[in-house]
Amino acid sequence: MWGYVLRRLLATVPVMGVVVLVVFLILRLTPGDPAAVIAGDYASAADIARIRSQLGLDRPLLEQFLTWLAQVLRGDLGTSIFTNLPVTTLIAQRLEPTLLLALTTITFSVLVAVPLGTLAAWRAGGLLDRCVMLFSVAGFSVPVFVLGYLLIYLFAMGLQLLPVQGYRSPFTDGLGPFLRHIALPTLTLGTVFVALIARMTRATVMDVLHEDHVRTARAKGQHELRVMTRHVLRNAAVPIVTVIGLGVALLIGGVVVTESVYNIPGLGRLVLDAVLKRDYPIIQGLIILFSFVYILINLVIDLVYTLFDPRIRY
């Protein structure tokens, strides 16, 4: 098992290598002179030259790559062009809201979707099942920003239950304000996940319900609720966990929109700002970070399989 973890971690090295190379080339393959783009419309030739040498763009491509690679390996993702702050510092400042939003979203989605999907499968074809499936289709189809403004209109402006925008840290402002502010973003971002996970849960649970060992459990006189939790859900866990893992990739896209709608100072906003201002070092740093997180999550998912299914051993 630990040998497997080590091998998988080693295997991330070439993957990250490809990521780093692609990220490097993005900057160099941008049409036109990136220095000119960065310098803006009113820059003089001297300004552009200064930016060129600051970015190291006047040196050979290979040398540029190696220099940059050495920096990245030391944990130095470069310096933001506009704020002149190290990219790592900027990321660290923005990490907390995004991590917590991701956490509340995943928790909320799993807590809602798994029971919902299971119930739908248990009473397949019934009214509840059809409602869940209808919601699921709707959840997929409504764009995050539409849903976001809809929820704000309803809960913040109409019912005046929750704040419209903003973020409060649970560490400095307390848990209550944090939850009140994170509720709508979580609901917005979570809807598509609930739809996705509920669908997968329903399909998998329906398959497992037809398996012989479920009949055995009933033949023992086991209560239906315990049959579902102990026998059915554990057997359905692997595909469900897979979808949750894949969903994290979706989350990255969703975070950008959600944080903009609710004005949350997180990584998503950082991405947006950096893209709008063409702050290449930040974009590079964030892509590398997101890729690495994604690879790690996949490893964790693979390891979680072994918790649910003893037949999976590495």
Among 14, 31, 75, 310, binds other proteins (CB under 8 A): 310
Note the maximum CA span of the chain.
84
Among 231, 248, 259, 286, binds other proteins (CB under 8 A): 231
Under rule CB under 8 A, residue 59 binds other proteins: no
Site for other proteins in 148-187 (CB under 8 A): none
* Cβ closest to other proteins, residue 112 vs residue 238: 238
Q: Phi and psi dihedrals of 159, rounded to 5?
A: -80, -15
Minimum CB separation from other proteins for residue 6, in Å?
Answer: 12
* Cβ closest to other proteins, residue 205 vs residue 270: 205
Q: Which amino acid is at 35?
A: A
Site for other proteins in 63-82 (CB under 8 A): none
- Given a contact cutoff of 8 angstroms between Cβ atoms, the answer to whether 60 and 83 are in contact is no
Q: Which helix (H) or strand (E) segment is 219 a member of? A: helix 212-219
Among 222, 239, 287, 288, binds other proteins (CB under 8 A): 222
Give every CB contact of residue 283 below 8 A, 6+ residues apart in sequence.
Answer: 26, 271, 274, 275
Minimum CB separation from other proteins for residue 5, in Å?
Answer: 14
Under rule CB under 8 A, residue 14 binds other proteins: no
- Measured between alpha carbons, how far is 162 from 242 in angstroms, rounded to an integer? 33
Minimum CB separation from other proteins for residue 13, in Å?
Answer: 16
Under rule CB under 8 A, residue 121 binds other proteins: no
3-state secondary structure of 86: strand
3-state secondary structure of 79: strand
Under rule CB under 8 A, residue 234 binds other proteins: yes
Q: What is the four-CA torsion angle of 288, 292, 297, 300, rounded to 10 degrees?
A: 180
Minimum CB separation from other proteins for residue 281, in Å?
Answer: 39
